[in-house]
Amino acid sequence: MITVTAARKHYGSFLALDDVDIDIPSGSLTALLGPSGSGKSTLLRAIAGLEGLDGGTVTIDGRDVTAEPPQRRGIGFVFQHYAAFKHMTVRDNVAFGLTIRKRPKAEIAKKVDDLLEIVGLDGFQHRYPAQLSGGQRQRMALARALAVDPQVLLLDEPFGALDAKVRTDLRQWLRRLHDEVHVTTVLVTHDQEEALDVADRIAVLNHGRIEQVGDPVTLYERPANDFVMGFLGSVASLGGQLVRPHDIVLERDHAAALALDAKVADSPGVITATVERVVPLGFEVRVDLRADSGERFAAQITRRDAAELGLREGETIHARATSRSTVVDHDPALAI
């Protein structure tokens, strides 16, 4: 369990962490999600002790480590750009934490072999980091961090420097690894898809503050505000409210739309709009619309619905939110 209380951090006059409180349960995989500059790395580095706080406390498993240096926090840290020890072989990199603790040679050798097998780098022991691909280097860095049996594993955009395919592979692999070793893990990412994919809890940060913490489903379906809603998926602004594009239903018949809408308590009502563009996206179709008020928004409907409607550009259509849709009142002060 990691507990951060009232964490505050200034860089000069800039407030990077603004009274952040967060609990990270033992054994969880928590993602810190937020746009660039929102303070994700600062918070993670404060937990690691790589960055000092101006105020607040950090406790790890009940131990107040606020004044402790990173060496004594029982952490493993993985950096975006691997931070490999270039002059050491893969084996020596992974063994580093154990070697400096002067563990017996046999114990080190066994542990390193086990870890290299877990991360799929057995057979690469004698290579230098420069002779590995990016994904392999990051797995080496992970093995190196795990070698010291950390109480918490902290990863700062660990897959950020890798290409899309490797990134998705590695994050699913990380999820499986986490299910095996159960170490409390905090993962920083600015990619909502990555957070939804691997994390069992997500904390959304914005401007050095935590907007919402929760499991992925809660965050997606019941966002606390329109920032969280906007960050965890695409949104359409419908009559001053934010809805998911796939929660918009299109009807040719205005009366039918109204009748359906009457059952929805808190919906933005029926909006009459002109079809500007119909974009096939594979399984779904995106319909770009312009409301009579001039407001532009997009709806995402299935291919079959689109075919039934037979939409053509320039036509008039009636749009409304479905009954179970996620709706958040738009607050301009919270806009991204």
Partner 1 sequence: MTSNAIDSRGAEQSASPLSRPGSGGRDEPRPDGAGDGGRSGGSTTPATKPNRARVGAVRPLGIGVVTLWLSVIVLLPLAALTAAAFSEGWAGFWEAITAPAAIAALWVTVLVSAIVAVINAVTGTLIAWVLVRDDFRGKRFVNAIIDLPFALPTIVASIVLLSLYGPNSPIDVQLNATRWGLIVALLFVTLPFVVRSVQPVLIEADREVEEAAASLGASSWTTFRRVVLPTLAPAILSGTGLAFARAIGEYGSVVLIGGNIPRETQVASQYIQQQIEIDRPVNAAAVSVALLAIAFATLLLLRVVASRTQRREERDA
Ligand X SMILES: Nc1ncnc2c1ncn2[C@@H]1O[C@H](COP(=O)(O)OP(=O)(O)OP(=O)(O)O)[C@@H](O)[C@H]1O
Where in 39-98 is the site for Mg ion (CB under 5 A)? Answer: 41
Q: Tell me which of ligand X, partner 1, Mg ion, none is bound by residue 42, counting a contact when its beta carbon lies within the kind-specific cut-off of 5 to 8 angstroms.
A: ligand X
Q: Which of 127, 209, 246, 252 binds partner 1 (CB under 8 A)?
A: 127
Residues with Cβ within 8 Å of residue 140, at least 6 apart in sequence: 82, 84, 90, 93, 94, 119, 121, 124, 129, 132
Q: Tell me which of partner 1, ligand X, Mg ion, none is bound by residue 36, counting a contact when its beta carbon lies within the kind-specific cut-off of 5 to 8 angstroms.
A: ligand X
42 sits near ligand X (criterion: CB under 6 A): yes
| Whether 74 contacts 152, CB under 8 Å | yes
Give the integer Cα–Cα distance in Å for 197 and 260.
34
Q: Tell me which of partner 1, ligand X, Mg ion, none is bound by residue 190, counting a contact when its beta carbon lies within the kind-specific cut-off of 5 to 8 angstroms.
A: ligand X
Provide the CA 111 distance to its chain's centre, in angstroms.
31
Task: Please give the helix or strand (H or E) that residue 316 lies within, else none.
Answer: strand 316-321
Q: Which is nearer to Mg ion, 33 or 146 (CB)?
A: 33
Residue 100 burial (C-beta neighbours within 10 Å; 0-12, 13-18, 19+): exposed
Q: Which is nearer to partner 1, 140 or 309 (CB)?
A: 140
101 sits near partner 1 (criterion: CB under 8 A): yes
Give the integer Cα–Cα distance in Å for 236 and 248.
9
For partner 1, the binding residues (CB under 8 A) are 48, 50, 69-72, 75-77, 79, 81, 83-87, 96-97, 100-101, 117-118, 120-124, 126-128, 130-136, 139, 141, 144-145, 147-148, 162-163, 165-166, 169-170, 172-173, 176-177, 180
For ligand X, the binding residues (CB under 6 A) are 11, 14, 16, 34, 36-42, 190
